[in-house]
Chains A and B, each alone.
Chain A
Amino acid sequence: MSQQGYVATPPYSQSQPGIGLSPPHYGHYGDPSHAGSPPGMMKPAGPLGAAAPGGMLPHGPSPPGPQQFGQNGAHAQGHPPQRFPGPPPVNSAAPSYAPYSPSTQSSYLSPASTASVTQLASQLNAMHINSYGSGMAPPGQGPPGPPSAPLFQGLPRPPQPSIMQPGSQVLPPPPTALNGPGASPLPPSTHRQDGLPGPAPLNAQYQPPPVPGQTLGTGYSPQQAASYGGGQLSYPGGFPGGPAQLAGPPQLQKKLDPDSIPSPIQVIENDRATRGGQVYATNSRGQVPPLVTTDCVIQDQGNASPRYIRCTTYCFPCTSDMAKQAQIPLAAVIKPFATIPSNETPLYLVNHGENGPVRCNRCKAYMCPFMQFIEGGRRYQCGFCNCVNDVPPFYFQHLDHIGRRLDHYEKPELSLGSYEYVATLDYCRKNKPPNPPAFIFMIDVSYSNIKNGLVKLICEELKTVLEKLPKEEQEETSAIRVGFITYNKVLHFFNVKSNLAQPQMMVVTDVGEVFVPLLDGFLVNYQESQSVIHNLLDQIPEMFADSNENETVFAPVIQAGMEALKAADCPGKLFIFHSSLPTAEAPGKLKNRDDKKLINTDKEKTLFQPQTNVYDSLAKDCVAHGCCVTLFLFPSQYVDVASLGLVPQLTGGTLYKYNNFQMHMDSQQFLNDLRNDIEKKIGFDAIMRIRTSTGFRATDFFGGIFMNNTTDVEMAAIDCDKAVTVEFKHDDKLAEDSGALIQCAVLYTTTGGQRRLRIHNLSLNCSSQLADLYKSCETDALINFFAKSAFKAVLHQPLKVIREILVNQTAHMLACYRKNCASPSAASQLILPDSMKVLPVYMNCLLKNCVLLSRPEISTDERAYQRQLVMTMGVADSQLFFYPQLLPIHTLDVKSTTLPTAIRCSESRLSEEGIFLLANGLNMFLWLGVSSPPELIQGIFNVPSFAHINTDMTTLPEVGNPYSQTLRMIISIIQQKRPYSMKLTIVKQREQPEMVFRQFLVEDKGLYGGSSYVDFLCCVHKEICQLLN
């Protein structure tokens, strides 16, 4: 039913409240009736069928006549023609396709196609598109032809252009007729929405590339057309129905110029150009903020800065019917402790003394700009629940002529979107002021960590980094106390009381029921105990130098830390440095259950689930005691990140992972992460509550959180990099005039041990016009939501289903726009709302993420790791993570301090003569073309030639040269705002490590599957067409 709800016909219904991605499916996680079957009714017949509406199914793989091909041609628009005929540059003119259609057909029908494909492949140089063509054609026909297989296998050979993409097409291309609707005679131009109701044809965009209108060589063109079609349609993995589209009636064909499809870079640059460097004042309801990639100064004028809250749309639909129709998730990504640049005002602290914050009697919302004072200031009406409250006497103030309090601008809580309250004892545990938090460092001293020098490295670093414990600005020293534990299969606690001549070690071997063996002297003030601590840190590496204990425990380590905090009655954070699968006999003992055979089965989800429920209940205890766990992992093999990472995730901690840690390669990255993590702003023992005005409410939460009920978001700690994504659902109608109000209140303990409330308020518009809704969307936030929603779903749903849902919902959102907002145009036209122009490319990036790719080549731990990271990401981080930043370095203007303009993440954008820097927030690559300018090589590496460059380095040498300086500055700027230290890898073109690098060229077809942007766009287009039909 649910599937019908949104797939079959408009109005698309949001079948389930509270479910973001695709209501029907997610809403029913665990509900066999839904989970069991593929979501879309459109795809009842398996992968292929999925792509085609039921009505279309009858179409055979080789339907009659050229029309089908023509239709294919329409789909093929995504592919730039230039790719095919080697030398001719990009070009796509609608007319040019027409002649080819017949041949397309023939190629399809004739068995010769295979041959021609190969021929094509061999003839054409390095063009992706060629490769598409070659790969696709055969599948379009039915079962993959022989040539495709070799191509597929050929994947690892980088220089061969064809290698890149074929994979996807080779996948089972069952013959299905696709879109009947596709029959539109018009060239498949995509329409672009310029923010106005009337859609502008994409063609316009396409036109600019002044292409000579070249047509493809006859021999090739048919195949290509066909192959494109196949390529586009068959979404790898989840959507292999591509070829079906070919069955449509022949259309005018058009090759898509990659430059002509919406460019994320263009969107980013446009926003930068119009809004960058300006002051953005949050003074009006529902305004759409600048993109996360745009630098500007934010001025709080009554709504929370977008640094704290970003929404998927800043205009909510008035009714849930509308919401269901549009299928646009209504969500906010909240980063309550986001770092604010120094040129913006820090949060004001409001202190009402013993009175505490002023709150609505009914809904308990905190005093904020949305409260309306009435009756001369004696009462106020709550903006959230409309309750009329008396103003407490201490808070009374007269109103001015426009009904505003006279002290409006003096009180942050009346005029600002974000501010803090000092909390009273009522807000403290046991009504006692909290103790300052503690940091406990827990070092795995098993054999491997000793041997590779890690223990020594950590101990050395702690000596320096402990000097920089976070502290309140007004304080001289940090209030945070520190403690130390080492462990292998037993735990060693250390007494580092300041009056001791030497530290004392206390071994707890009872890991089955771990306890804290000492009360006094475990958690100490670093300054007071400095000499004992240094003594200890000097001794630890030697103490275990002769140990050859290989086994470790893990859950007891967390337990110990948590018990220690509990005993000290304070919140805190555990820093665990761990390297192996905990196999020693103890609670939380794990076995190696990594099983590649599970991939692509219904049991694949178990790889993301923890192996035992020990960690789940441990996490619960940790949250209950304000114990945040940050885990530094140094695995050399499978360590079951899904299990080990659970506690860090649920306690608001961070998981860092350094595969095959090598001192000379990785220590810098690790140390940067460690320093950053210790120093960063953090709040402890937090509870977040989201309040909304009537008509809607928060229904689902994603992030490093723990929830015991449906409203209180508990967090052992939350730091400046962690975001919580909240989804909203209607429970009534929203009124256009009152808008939709959101108040996020976080009660927490500061690093100084003060209990505070941090309040963020945001007002959104409401509209009964779908166009308004689409106008106010923010794609970056949408992707953040989709990613978290999907990554949460992988615990319960087969990946295939999730991928389908993502594609479907993308198509639905766009189809709804097309149907309801765009000006009438040919059905075959792809029309994207301006605010979602890059949704397809980003969505494709998400689909290609290794978490959602069921491929045995990708390590299970890596997938679990990335899954976890994304769950707490803010919008800016997820944007970069899914669409990496690729900067040309060879064209660097060494005199400028601004970053060079990024280019799109596609191999076609690289050049042999170029040097490029790529960063995604976790990794950074410096790609060197084989013909890189020697002066740059010299300038950056201080070596005479390309061949001399040592790719082992992870930091660039400091060369007294503008190239070097500028590049290193760029790297540091990119690194600066990111929560994880990125390890720099030097990649030479055509050398083996390039394979890793290529995975990040997300517009291309993925190494391990995942379609190219162009293919995906076509796939989405096809879906839209189906929906519209």
Chain B
Amino acid sequence: MATYLEFIQQNEERDGVRFSWNVWPSSRLEATRMVVPLACLLTPLKERPDLPPVQYEPVLCSRTTCKAILNPLCQVDYRAKLWACNFCFQRNQFPPAYTGISEVNQPAELMPQFSTIEYVIQRGAQSPLIFLYVVDTCLEEDDLQALKESLQMSLSLLPPDALVGLITFGRMVQVHELSCEGISKSYVFRGTKDLTAKQIQDMLGLTKPAMPMQQARPGQPHEQPFVSSRFLQPVHKIDMNLTDLLGELQRDPWPVTQGKRPLRSTGVALSIAVGLLEGTFPNTGARIMLFTGGPPTQGPGMVVGDELKVPIRSWHDIEKDNARFMKKATKHYEMLANRTATNGHCIDIYACALDQTGLLEMKCCANLTGGHMVMGDSFNTSLFKQTFQRIFSKDFNGDFRMAFGATLEVKTSRELKVAGAIGPCVSLNVKGPCVSENELGVGGTSQWKICGLDPTSTLGIYFEVVNQHNAPVPQGGRGAIQFVTQYQHSSTQRRIRVTTIARNWADAQSQLRHIEAAFDQEAAAVLMARLGVFRAESEEGPDVLRWLDRQLIRLCQKFGQYNKEDPTSFRLSDSFSLYPQPVLLDSSSILAERILLMDTFFQIVIYLGETIAQWRKAGYQDMPEYENFKHLLQAPLDDAQEILQARFPMPRYINTEHGGSQARFLLSKVNPSQTHNNLYAWGQETGAPILTDDVSLQVFMDHLKKLAVSSAC
């Protein structure tokens, strides 16, 4: 039955929501026994070309603790012009504008196909988009040149009225004033000094009432944007100026003696960027875009010292708690990230270097604010250039695919509570009747802030069924969830997108098959992965792995069909078949006369088997009689191109062959069914052995089955 697959797909397309379970176990106890929690992946701004926003504001439930938004699931009394909230059952009067409604004249939000609807808020001042470039100048000449070009190019992609600013850093941090004629002016900060937000704003002259301005324009009320005008200017005004400024940008001039890393003040630069926006445009959509070519080496947030003889921390160091700067640096960036999130801004990190750049310490900057994090080898690669360009891609309406300052609110019907969310968000700490005491991910709230998001930004939202076992939900009853996302659209409008969904309850004992059939194993895998990653933030790696293993075993025990103590009898139904084994590519696939195309999201690898490679070397593809060989070679290239076009961030594209050094990208991903340990057992003819101690999927599955059927667990 393709029905559930279709249902899942349809729901995802319409609402941007995928649940781990599409039929919900009706009691807390049952839900717990399902192992995989009731949760969903929500893509709040899922692109909906077929969904024009309505130009009015939503109607809210009048109960102050509810304030749910009128939706197709609500009971409506057309005659009395009343509607009943499907979350709190409050009866509400329609507002005056709705006097004309009837069964045949319904507002969009009542129509079933508008389970997701978007409202445009007309109130409030529109604020421009803000892009603050924070550029590392400790780069190799060609890297810097490439970066400068990319940045110059980006100016033409920005909306003309967007405000743009530039901070450069190396040994020192320079905040460039963009409005000066005749002389370029910048404010310079020591790269080693931790400055408070207040100090930064004082030093940039942001806190002082703009006296000169007032005098210069008597009578005009003082508006805040004027204060910052020196550092953030509309693109259309300083386009040329900034292009020149970027053009003249030089590598950090301070000499780097042999055996030293350049002094890179990333921590202070970010701190100043955050402080600058904080002082000028709080709660307005803004992107801090950090471009860095190496690890921070001085000041707050430094990750490694400037002595080259001391290598940057490895996982080994971290595990042994031997990474000297890590905790302090992480704390610094976390502090910045939290401040940024509070102000509704986001931080992108574009790190291009062959060695590590300290993303581990800085990751929260992007994670907590919904920024992008892009890693590459060099700014002078198409990977970076195209990824960067893709940031400014536009949707079918010609609007930028980015939104800012979103708050996501989740409302649940009474049988459910929200346990938490995992994604590029921070808690807004809003308690309410639908907030669970148990936390999964970022919990304890029914609202989250997502400072930067795009049509693909997805959160995992975890729920708890609170219905008691002895008070089951009436058969046929449905649970409902409403997602309300308020955000600043790239067109600078404030918008609200409302998605209201409902799913059936089922009694897990009598209707387990229903529940099982409605399992979305892809969503579940992602949701479990998010939980695992989230736990890994705070727990030791091995503990998390053990936890994941245990969850998997329990799931297999619950839903597998087997005879006790008989691994060979173990079977999983279709809806679970992929869950334990997401890896399909096996080393046994690597054969001499094959071409392989591997897509791992971040990497696309085309691999020519040994024979194929020899043929190509011999030039067969150029001979008319081997035209089909030519097509054969071309086909994966075309496929890869297609993926490359759409993917963000742009994946690393690797075109290699048997024995090529870059074949490692393939070899590191395939299932190691042949290793040096079992090579002889498997014989010479099949596939390529992988030199690893990791177990292969087969071994893993065997082990899993054994444990699942074991009664000892």
Interface residues of A (CB under 8 A from B): 490, 493, 500, 502-510, 513, 515, 517-521, 535-536, 539, 543, 546-548
Contacts and interface: CB of A to CB of B under 8 A. Distances in A.
B60 interface: no
B184 A547 contact: no
A519 B183 contact: no
B182 interface: yes
B184 A519 contact: no
A507 B193 contact: no
B104 interface: no
B253 A520 contact: yes
Contacts of B182: 502, 535, 539
B212 interface: yes
Nearest to B190: A515
A517 B253 contact: no
Contacts of B471: none
Nearest to B189: A510
A118 B187 CA distance: 72
Contacts of B313: none
Contact of B193 (A506, A513, A518): A513
B187 A504 contact: no
A816 B216 CA distance: 74
B190 A513 contact: yes
Contacts of B212: 546-548
Nearest to A509: B203
Contact of B183 (A505, A508, A515, A518): A505
Contacts of A502: 182-184
23 contacts: A493-B188, A504-B183, A505-B186, A506-B174, A506-B185, A506-B186, A506-B188, A507-B188, A509-B187, A509-B202, A509-B203, A509-B204, A510-B193, A510-B203, A513-B190, A513-B193, A517-B172, A518-B188, A521-B253, A535-B182, A536-B183, A546-B215, A548-B215
A577 B540 CA distance: 63
Nearest to B213: A546
A520 to B, nearest CB: 5
Interface string B162-189: 0000000000101000001011111111
Contact of B187 (A507, A520, A546): A507
B217 to A, nearest CB: 11
Given A504-B184, A546-B216, 4 more contacts: A503-B183, A505-B184, A535-B182, A543-B183
Contacts of A500: 248
A500 B186 CA distance: 15
Contacts of B204: 509
Contacts of A509: 187, 189, 202-205
A755 B212 CA distance: 50
Interface in B21-67: none
A500 B244 CA distance: 12
B188 A548 contact: no
Nearest to A520: B253
B2 interface: no
B418 to A, nearest CB: 46
Contacts of A539: 182-183
A546 B203 CA distance: 19
B241 to A, nearest CB: 11
Contacts of B186: 504-507
Interface in B207-263: 211-212, 215-216, 248, 253-255
Given A510-B193, A513-B190, A520-B253, A504 B215 contact: no
A508 B211 CA distance: 20
Nearest to A492: B185
A490 B211 CA distance: 17
B252 to A, nearest CB: 9
Nearest to A506: B188
Contacts of A506: 174, 185-188
A490 to B, nearest CB: 8
Given A505-B186, A507-B187, A509-B187, A518 B253 contact: yes
A557 to B, nearest CB: 16
A518 B172 CA distance: 9
Interface residues of B, number: 25
Identify the 6 closest CB pairs spanning chains A and B, nearest first.
Answer: A517-B188, A509-B203, A505-B185, A507-B187, A520-B253, A506-B188
A493 B185 CA distance: 10
B12 to A, nearest CB: 52
A504 B193 contact: no
B185 A504 contact: yes
A507 B185 contact: yes
A701 to B, nearest CB: 38
A383 to B, nearest CB: 49
A273 B706 CA distance: 126
Contacts of A493: 188
A520 B253 CA distance: 7
A506 B253 CA distance: 14
B491 to A, nearest CB: 35
Could you say which of B187, B193, B204, B215 has the most chain A C-beta atoms within 10 Å of its C-beta? Answer: B187
B708 to A, nearest CB: 64
A521 B187 CA distance: 16
B119 to A, nearest CB: 44
A490 B187 CA distance: 10
Contacts of A490: 203
Contacts of B205: 509
A938 to B, nearest CB: 51
A510 B204 CA distance: 10
Nearest to A503: B183
Contacts of A547: 212
Contacts of A519: 253-255
Given A509-B203, A510-B203, A517 B183 contact: no
Nearest to A542: B182
A618 to B, nearest CB: 19
Contacts of B248: 500
A510 B184 contact: no
A358 to B, nearest CB: 39
Nearest to A504: B184
Contacts of A510: 189-190, 193, 203
A241 B172 CA distance: 68
| Of listed B203, B212, B254, residue having the most chain A CB within 10 A | B203
Contacts of B203: 490, 509-510
A532 to B, nearest CB: 10
Contacts of B253: 518-521
Nearest to A538: B182
A521 B216 CA distance: 33
A500 B248 CA distance: 9
Nearest to B187: A507
A156 to B, nearest CB: 43
A507 B186 CA distance: 6
A514 B204 CA distance: 15
A505 B182 CA distance: 10
A469 B158 CA distance: 50
Interface in B514-561: none
A503 B180 CA distance: 12
Contacts of B183: 502-505, 536, 539, 543
B216 A508 contact: no
A547 B216 CA distance: 10
A500 B184 CA distance: 11
Nearest to B171: A519
B326 to A, nearest CB: 27
Contact of B188 (A508, A520, A521): A508
Contacts of A536: 183
Contacts of B255: 519
A503 B185 CA distance: 9
A498 to B, nearest CB: 14
A663 B183 CA distance: 28
Contacts of B254: 519
- Residue in A500, A515, A535, A539 whose Cβ sees the most chain B Cβ within 10 Å: A515
Contacts of B174: 506, 517
Nearest to B205: A509
A347 B455 CA distance: 83
A509 B253 CA distance: 21
